[in-house]
Amino acid sequence: LLIIYFQQFRKMKLIFCLQFGLILFSYFTFSSAGDLEEEKYGVIFANECEVCKLVTKEVTELLESHDSSDVIETGYNIDSKNKKKTKYNKSELRLVEVLEDTCNGMSDYRVHKERKDSTRWAKSMSQTFKTLHGLVDKGVKVELGIPMELWDEPSAEVGQLKTQCEQFLEDHEDLINNWYFGDQHSPLQSHVCESILKDKKCLSEPYGEEISSSDSEKDEGSSEPNTREKSEL
């Protein structure tokens, strides 16, 4: 009996060690997954400043597109005389409609890897892919390892940006509501981002759409001599 008990004890101990080891492996694997992906594939997700900048920009633009002088009636009373009339521009309905669409707009962004600051996020094709498409149009065979129809598909960074947007709106819903229903003396971006960010550097940078193709080409070209120098060494 003692031998059987001892064998069962050893078996249970082994199972426990294996389970504990698996938990530790999973923890370190998933906690560093983002870092590994960035190192291995050159994927650089949006930082806190970029997320705040892009999300507040999207909300602001959507609010402008939902601008209306209409007056709406709210309330559940059948008698229209007892329903509350509210200006659409200050209504909760307008804000709800805007916030529901905000994160969908993140899918329109593309990452311009030739840029190193927050201007890398822009709702336009990157200079790199413009150049590649231009080569294809001239009859040059370009091999990227992926079908050409997938060149313009959202990257991993863009997919993650949408998730980051959803989390941002959830975390800072009160700040956005306070601004919207308040006096709005300052822009939404200033009201929110200035309040929550420690590093505000990206807020002073232009938006990616404001950078012209010629500027991108200059930036990309300026890095070429350094590359050549390194290869010669």
pLDDT along the chain (233 residues), means of 10: 49 46 39 46 88 98 90 65 79 95 94 90 69 62 62 79 97 96 94 96 94 55 38 32
Task: Tell me, yes or no, whether 68 lies in a domain.
Answer: yes
- Domain that includes residue 197, residue range: 41-73+84-123+156-204
Task: Tell me, yes or no, whether 34 lies in a domain.
Answer: no
d(CA 118, CA 111): 10
Interior angle at CA 104, CA 101 and CA 107, nearest 5: 155
The confidence score (pLDDT) of residue 73 equals 74
- The radius of gyration of the chain from alpha carbons, rounded to an integer in Å, stands at 26
d(CA 1, CA 22): 32
Question: Taking Cα atoms as reference points, which of 59, 52, 60, 57 lies closest to residue 167?
Answer: 52
The confidence score (pLDDT) of residue 70 equals 82
Task: Tell me, yes or no, whether 195 lies in a domain.
Answer: yes
Task: Tell me, yes or no, whether 144 lies in a domain.
Answer: no
Task: Tell me, yes or no, whether 51 lies in a domain.
Answer: yes
Number of domains in the chain: 1
Q: Is there a contact between 161 and 123 (Cβ–Cβ < 8 Å)? A: no
pTM of structure: 0.68
Task: Tell me, yes or no, whether 162 lies in a domain.
Answer: yes
The confidence score (pLDDT) of residue 226 equals 37
Task: Tell me, yes or no, whether 6 lies in a domain.
Answer: no
